Amino acid sequence: MAEIIAMPKLGFDMAEGTLVRWVVGEGEKIEKGQVLAEIETDKATVEVESSAEGIVYRHLVKAGDVVPVGTPIAVIAAPGEEVKDLPGEAAAEESPLAAAQPAGQPTGTVTAVEAPIVTADEEGRTKASPLARRMALEYGINLSQVQGSGPGGRVVRRDIERVLQSAPAEPAPEIETPLPSVAAPAVQPSAPIPAAMPLPAMEDQRAAVDKLRAIIGKRMVESKTQIPHFYLTSEVDMAALMDLRKQFNTQLPEEQKLSVNDFMIKAAALALRQFPNLNASLQGNEIVRHGHRNIGVAVALENGLMTIVCKDADFKSLGLISQEVKEMVSRARAGKVRPEDIEGSTFSISNLGMFEVEHFVAIINPPEAAILAVGSVKEVPVVENGVIKPGLRMKMTLSADHRITDGAEAAKFMQTLKNYLEKPALILL
């Protein structure tokens, strides 16, 4: 029996997505779990997997279409099955790119005579994939002057690579014969000395707010204006954990080495078992205490932040947490996150320790009840039994929603988390 594939909801605030491209064409075989299409949301380009196996009977939307969440986008049928009364049937028309090709010329080939026209989105920006935008920013390429070969004239990676390959090489500097050194004349005392060096003329730069930056701003404003935050900071003795991590990492290959954040994820998930109000969300007049400890991890991207999610972290080993997080971070930075990478977080961690940040506070990620801000591990002087000695310390700050929890409960959570971090053997049990 035919199955309808709908535009997925990839986040609680997602209302629509752009179908970037079909990975599997009409009439082609597809397996359950195989990538069917790429969807661009406000946050990233996501690979959408098929929930059924069979033949892609029909694409119900075209590449480049902006589609509301829940709208049917494709039909998967059994081989030889005839499907009638297709929902919102819209036969895929030949793309502008294909129409622009001369007969016999392969799609995607750009000629000097007939090239696809670069179109703009509803905000007036040149249509381009996230990867193409990053490459253009890195190499200083003006996207509005690049001919796109993607769906609807969209600029994609190959277009940026074509521009880079066609760019003329810079001429080598001319070699001049050095002049014989001449002693500089003595400075005359009467010579005028300028008051200051003239500054070069500099102009203001203006850049449109991209979608990711806009959605971050919108959500953070809502969070700070609608959620009554309160904050608690604790200092943790990290000597034992850092020693244990060093022992592990000396036995592990480079790609499997553990980070401090891996320990933080595991310890936070274990502590949340005892404090369900910090692993909760407010829905109407009800507090929903989540049964899973799904830890969201803030990932820095070039144009903002994205939260990837380590599901059921309290039941996973440190090695598995490390592997999953590395893979999700890699996909996020490549603009290829999967729906499950960014869905379902119940508590978040924002770690800026790798940037030598000692202490900061984070804004709660709605609809969660709390977020943990983690600073860097520093060697500092500490006093033990009246003696000053070097020690390793780390500061962490909890931001919590006062509608769901209170200071005493949050403080006990921080004590429990601190105990796991200072006695890291407990994390391994």
Positions annotated as catalytic residues are: 402
Alpha-carbon span 348 to 371, nearest angstrom: 5
Q: Where are the beta strands (DSSP E) in 311-422?
A: 347-351, 370-374, 378-384, 387-401
CA-based nearest residue to 237, from 63, 4, 99, 420: 420
Burial of 115 (0-12, 13-18, 19+ CB in 10 A): middle
Q: Which residue has the tokens 């060096």?
A: 197
- Beta pairing, strands 387-401 & 229-237: antiparallel
Contacts of 324 (CB under 8 A, 6+ apart): 310, 316
CA-based nearest residue to 268, from 287, 239, 293: 293
Q: Which residue has the tokens 């779990």?
A: 33
Q: Which residue has the tokens 């903002």?
A: 304
Alpha-carbon span 35 to 49, nearest angstrom: 4
**Rg of the chain in Å (alpha carbons):** 28
Collapse the DSSP code of 401 into the 3-class scheme (helix H, G, I; strand E, B; otherwise coil) and give the result.
strand
Contacts of 246 (CB under 8 A, 6+ apart): none
Q: Do you know the residue count of the chain?
A: 429
Cβ atoms of residues 287 and 275 within 8 Å: no
Alpha-carbon span 272 to 280, nearest angstrom: 10
Give Cα separations from 165 to 158, 168, 184, 330 (angstroms): 10, 8, 47, 26
Side-chain half-sphere exposure of 338, counting CA atoms within 13 A: 15
H/E run at residue 281: strand 280-283
